[in-house]
Every structure is written in C-alpha cells, then in structure tokens.
Chains A and B, each alone.
Chain A
C-alpha cells in the first residue's frame, strides 16, 4: 500500500479537527470535563454542514481568536513533555552507548548474543579496524588508514597498479620465501 507524502498545506477539515482536539484537551486546564466537552462539541456541530468556504474560514478564525482570548495562563502540560516538571530530568544520568566497550570480557560474556550483534553492527557501519597483516602485529591504526595512498580507479582492461605498500609487502614476502628456500 503506497502512502502519499504529506502536502505542504493543511485542508480546512484538518485545521478544524486539529483545533477541536486542542480545544478539547485545553478544557482540562480549566478543570472542566464531561459536560463542557459536550458543550464544546455542540458548538462545533452547529456549523458542521456549512458549505460556504468563506464563511467556514471566517468561523474558524473567530473560534481561534476566542480560544486565544480564553486560554488558561498555565495550561496543563504532561510531566514528561517539553515544559513539564520532569522533562529532561534524567538527562544527566544518560551515558553514551560507547561505555559498553569498556566492559571486561567476563562481563561481556554474560550477554553473548547482544555483544555479537553489536560487533556485527559495528563492522557493517565500518567502525571496527581491519585485521593485522602479520600475526602478533598491531592492527593498522587510524593514521595508517588516514594516510594510506589513494587507490586509483582503473578500467577492467588495464592491469591494476600496485601501491607502494603493496609492493613493499610483496617484496618482503618474496624475500622471506627465498630465504626459507635457501635454508
């Protein structure tokens, strides 16, 4: 099922419905409930079948002005909403997700599935380092990756051009092999 993108403007129906919802929830700020919600609905129902758009827009405008005039100076805001009493209260206790990297392996072993998935996600995002070239060596650290020689894009018919590091690696490997054979 295809969902259409929201239009750049609101229809009159949307405006009226949004306004109705706002007005209804604002009744709670005045400590009024069921009966006054029914009265509010009756006011909206009175002009429900208005066909003249000019008049309908005029009615909406007057209603919005009336709402503005009668609004409560301290409207009720939910405690976790912006402007509420406990909004952002626990921000100071939130820690970045990277703190999980500092866990000891014995702690990580308690949640193997979670950490395995986490490592997989990190690899996909490219956050992990490539493995070391030789055993016992350090993996290539960040400056090796940053200052690595740029690989030129080549056509399929052309022979791939070796980078300096690659040449160096091949040379060292060949020399080690020759030495082994000679021994």
Chain B
C-alpha cells in the first residue's frame, strides 16, 4: 500500500506546475498553492514512510515500459527501499520550510511565482533521483537538478558574478557527468542492464572502472576536493536556493549515488580507500577554508562541503547507512543555518559580511537562538540531531580497521567545525553592532519564524526519531575504550576553547602581518586562482608558440620565402662566372688580340 501512496506523493507536486501552463497569468495566491501542494505531498509521504517502517517491506514499482533497445529494456521504475522512503519526507519537510521562508525573503521579487515553480521542479527532479530504480531514470533526475541549479543560481541574472557562478556550477557538474555516463556505458556493455537489481547480481568481480566513474560523478555533484569551487560560488543565488539546493538536497545527490551502489563498493577495497581519502582531504581542506572566510553564506557553504566529505569518509569505512543518517540529519540543521543566515542578511539590508554584523542577540533573538541551536547540532552536541550521526561516525571510524591518517584528518576537521561555528556566533551575535544604525530590524513575521521553528524542532528531535527507525544492518560496536568514546566530544570542546581563546587574544594583539597559512586559508588554498588560469594560460601559450614558432618561424623563415632566397643566392654565387672584376675583364678582352698580333708578326 505504501508504494501507491508514495507515487501519489508526486501528483500534488505536479498540480501547481500544470496550473501555470493552463493559466499563465500572474496569480497572487500561487505561492500558497505551492506551499499547500508540498504539505499534502509531505502528509502522504509520512503515511507511506510510517507503513514502510512498521512493515519493513521494500518494493519496486515498474509501471511504464518506454522502449526496448536490442536486449535492454527501458522502463519507468521506482525503487522504494529504506533510503528513498526515509529521505522523501525529509526532503519534503525541508522544502516546505524553505518555500514558506521564500514567501518572506522574496516577497519584493516580481517573479516570485516563477521562483517557486523552479523550486518545485527541482524538488520533483530530486524525488525522481532518489526513487529511481535504474541508472537512466536516475540520470534524468541528476541532469534535471543540474539545470534547475543553473536557473536558480543565476536568478539575479543582471549580475555578472551570478552568471559566472551558474556557468561554473554547470561546468564542474559536467565533468562529473562524464563519470556518470562512463559508468552507464560500462554497465550497458557488461551487465546489459541499467536496473540496480540486475547490476548488483551480475557484478560479482566488482570491477573498479565503473565505481571510479561513479566516484568522479559524486566528486562533481557533491563538491569533493578537486571539483569543489562551484559550491562557494553558488552562494550568488538567493538564500532559499542555497538552503535547499546547496546544503540539503542537491549536493547530497552524489553521496546518495555512492550509497545506492554500496553493494558493489563494499567488495572493492580500492574504491573504498579512494572514497575515504577523498572524503578526508575534502573535509579538512574545506574546514580550513571556512575558518577565515568573512562572508556568512560562504562559511556555511564550506561547512556543507566539509560535512559532505565526512559522509564520503563514512562510506569509505563501509557504513552507508550511517552516511545516509548523516544526510538526513544534516539536511535539518544546515537548512536552518541557511535560513537564519538569510534572516540576518535580509534584516541588515543585504549585508553578508560578518565584519559588519554584531550585537544581534538582542535585536534578532529568535534568529540568534536558531543559529546557536543549528551550530550546536552541527558540532555534534550530545543528544541534538547531529550527535546521533556525527558521533556515531567518529566512533565507528575510531574502532574500524582504517588508516590513521584519514582518521586524524577527520578529527582535525571536527575541531575546525567547532572553530568556525563559534566564529560565526561571536561575529554576528556578540559584541557591539557594526552595521548601520538606520536599519530597522524586525523578525516578527510568521512566514519567517514558522519555518525556522520547524527546522529547529527537527534539529533537536529528528536525529533521535530517524536513528530509532534504522534497521540494524551490522553488529554495532558493543564496547570501546573511554578515550575513543569521548574522542568526538573532546575534539569539539578543544576546537571550541581554542576558538574562544584565539578570538580573545586577537582583540588584544598588535596588528601585524598575518602568517602565510592565513592567506592559504582565506584565498581558499589558491585553488580557483591556479586551476582557472592554468587551462587558458596553457592554451594561450601553446597557441602563441604555435603562431610564432610554427607559423612565423617555420613556414615564413625556414621553409618558404627565406629558404628560397638563400637557395637562390647560393645557386647564383656558385653557378655564376661573373665575379665583378671589370679590370680583369677588360684586360682579358685585350690579351687575345695582342697575343694574336704578336704571334702573326
């Protein structure tokens, strides 16, 4: 029964889009239609998820046969397993909150209906991705999300930076899509199918090539190290876009893809090690970048990237269900962090720099509270949402047979998480206000407070609720030493105290030139600056050498005109008898008649 209910979830979501096709005129009630449609879909999905939890029955629906190409059959099929059934209500809940927040944040935008329509289309593509039972359908959702990401990042398309950021997102995601298509081609050739069941049954040797390709796809979509610059640039879009796409739903699609293929990955140690290493590098690098940023949204974006790296680390230690739990819990508190940031930014007249914030505890008490709750959940404070996933991940990593380097990196990144969270709170909430005094700040709007309220409740209780619904997949670690059990909490507290101590020190320190590591962190490791210049520079240098050396030097000097000239000169000097000796010629002209005269006499 839950299978038909979950299909019914998609129908209310299509209604608002159909309305715009039938009646394209502007409708002031359209935002409410969208919100209602999402609420209905959420209610239906919660019903079906509850039934699924109690029955524990996974199902697969295949209802429309599209075509058959030789021996491969393409059909529309939905996989309703634990992952899709648990994530659907989470995605709908977060989207409901963000749509309601958008009605406040984008209220002055004349095209708010179009904005909400784009968000809805994005949600539909996300649901297509997570319920897909074959790679082709998953790819449709994958690409759909990429397109909506492009349209939403460049929402304010009059701004050059927004267009650049949207193109950057498309290009980096496209590099990842190469991996996806390679994997599809490999599975087409060797498994003769794109259905997950068939691929998992047939692939007993666990070939590394398709898994590496899928890893490339996940690197692009989930902003792992190497293909990560698009995520902080994507903060050019409106805050609701950042909250929905670039924190909770779209960026986890890459991790979700890897989780879907965990039956193949768990037999391939090379892929697991690569995922672990990539995740560890990503989580540390992005956490280092986050601690010196001054843009509020960029700090939260790097925090997202760091948590995505942590999810990859979790998959690398062969715990896909833990990674999925972290996806679900992370969606709540990260979306709330973004909405709180949006509330602050909108209240301060689009001021995003934390150097010009301060003293907002008293002026925005509700936002401040939610920001603190979200930060505490992010840090893994005991018994909040983040604790149930993050602490478990670190405990499992500590007690698993994994390399110490990845573990140390993850722990350092965990303490850096606490540092940048404290930095956000201290700069935005505490101290004297550094913003203009002419701004009137008011957060007393239900469309602002209700979404943040809901997400705050989710950030406190969702972890407990979801973790109690996960079926046991493996034998949990029963005993461990005290220091391993308390490792996550202790590194978080260490990071917290370090951050507070350093901030107190810098207030009293002399203004001096910062160390080189500050510049490394502030300039994001100089990654974008170097990689975005290397390619054009190498092609321009090659073309310059091409024209100057190949064309000018070779064709114009070494071969055709100059060579011809040199050949002509050498030939003419060799073959010519004329030496220019006029006196000798005249003399030689006179010598024969003189000789003849002498001889005849």
Q: What is the bound-complex CA distance between A44 and B208, given in angstroms?
A: 66
Q: Which residues of A contact B295 (CB under 8 A)?
A: 85
Set A32, A39, A86: member contacting B350, Cβ < 8 A = A86
A81-96: contact bitstring with B at CB < 8 Å (1 yes, 0 no)?
0000111111111100
Set A28, A32, A74, A89: member contacting B156, Cβ < 8 A = A89
In the complex, the chain B residue whose C-beta lies closest to that of A72 is: B522
Set A28, A36, A69, A90: member contacting B158, Cβ < 8 A = A90
The stretch among B96-104, B131-139, B352-360, B444-452 that forms the contact with chain A is B352-360
Q: What is the bound-complex CA distance between A89 and B353, given in angstroms?
A: 17
CB of A73 within 8 Å of the partner chain:
yes
Q: Which residues of B contact A70 (CB under 8 A)?
A: 513
The number of chain A residues touching the other chain, given as a range, is 20 to 34
Asked if residues B511 and A76 are in contact (CB atoms below 8 Å), the reply is no
Asked if residues B159 and A74 are in contact (CB atoms below 8 Å), the reply is no
Q: What is the bound-complex CA distance between A79 and B296, given in angstroms?
A: 13
Asked if residues B158 and A89 are in contact (CB atoms below 8 Å), the reply is yes
B457-484: contact bitstring with A at CB < 8 Å (1 yes, 0 no)?
0000000000000000000000000000
B58-91: contact bitstring with A at CB < 8 Å (1 yes, 0 no)?
0000000000000000000000000000000000
Set B158, B352, B356: member contacting A92, Cβ < 8 A = B158
In the complex, the chain A residue whose C-beta lies closest to that of B513 is: A70
Set A74, A79, A80: member contacting B294, Cβ < 8 A = A74
CB of A18 within 8 Å of the partner chain:
no
Size of chain B's interface in residues, with CB distance under 8 A? 22
Q: Which residues of A contact B349 (CB under 8 A)?
A: 79
Interfacial residues of chain A within 89-142, with CB under 8 A of chain B in the complex? 89-94
Given the known interface contacts A69-B513, A70-B513, A73-B523, the answer about A31 and B355 at a Cβ–Cβ threshold of 8 Å is yes
B146-160: contact bitstring with A at CB < 8 Å (1 yes, 0 no)?
000000000011111
Give A65 Cβ to nearest chain B Cβ, in Å. Answer: 13
In the complex, the chain A residue whose C-beta lies closest to that of B111 is: A93
Q: What is the bound-complex CA distance between A65 and B14, given in angstroms?
A: 61
In the complex, the chain A residue whose C-beta lies closest to that of B508 is: A35
CB of A30 within 8 Å of the partner chain:
yes
CB of B519 within 8 Å of the partner chain:
yes
Give B108 Cβ to nearest chain A Cβ, in Å. Answer: 10
Asked if residues B356 and A76 are in contact (CB atoms below 8 Å), the reply is yes
Asked if residues B522 and A91 are in contact (CB atoms below 8 Å), the reply is no
Give B242 Cβ to nearest chain A Cβ, in Å. Answer: 12
Q: What is the bound-complex CA distance between A85 and B295, given in angstroms?
A: 9
Q: What is the bound-complex CA distance between A86 and B523, given in angstroms?
A: 21
CB of B110 within 8 Å of the partner chain:
yes
CB of B443 within 8 Å of the partner chain:
no
Q: What is the bound-complex CA distance between A29 and B295, given in angstroms?
A: 12
Given the known interface contacts A29-B355, A30-B511, A36-B511, the answer about A88 and B519 at a Cβ–Cβ threshold of 8 Å is no
Give B3 Cβ to nearest chain A Cβ, in Å. Answer: 44
Given the known interface contacts A31-B355, A73-B519, the answer about A79 and B110 at a Cβ–Cβ threshold of 8 Å is no
Given the known interface contacts A70-B513, A73-B522, A74-B522, the answer about A85 and B355 at a Cβ–Cβ threshold of 8 Å is no
Q: What is the bound-complex CA distance between A88 and B160, given in angstroms?
A: 8
Q: Which residues of A contact B350 (CB under 8 A)?
A: 79-80, 85-86, 89
Give me the 7 closest cross-chain CB pairs, A-B, nearest first. Answer: A91-B158, A92-B158, A86-B350, A88-B159, A89-B156, A79-B350, A85-B352
Chain B residues proximal to chain A, CB less than 8 Å: 110, 156-160, 162, 293-295, 349-353, 355-356, 511, 513, 519, 522-523
| A–B pairs, 26, beta carbons within 8 Å | A28-B355, A28-B356, A29-B355, A30-B511, A69-B513, A73-B519, A73-B522, A73-B523, A74-B294, A74-B522, A76-B294, A76-B355, A79-B350, A79-B351, A79-B352, A79-B353, A85-B350, A85-B352, A85-B353, A87-B159, A89-B159, A89-B350, A90-B158, A91-B159, A92-B157, A93-B110
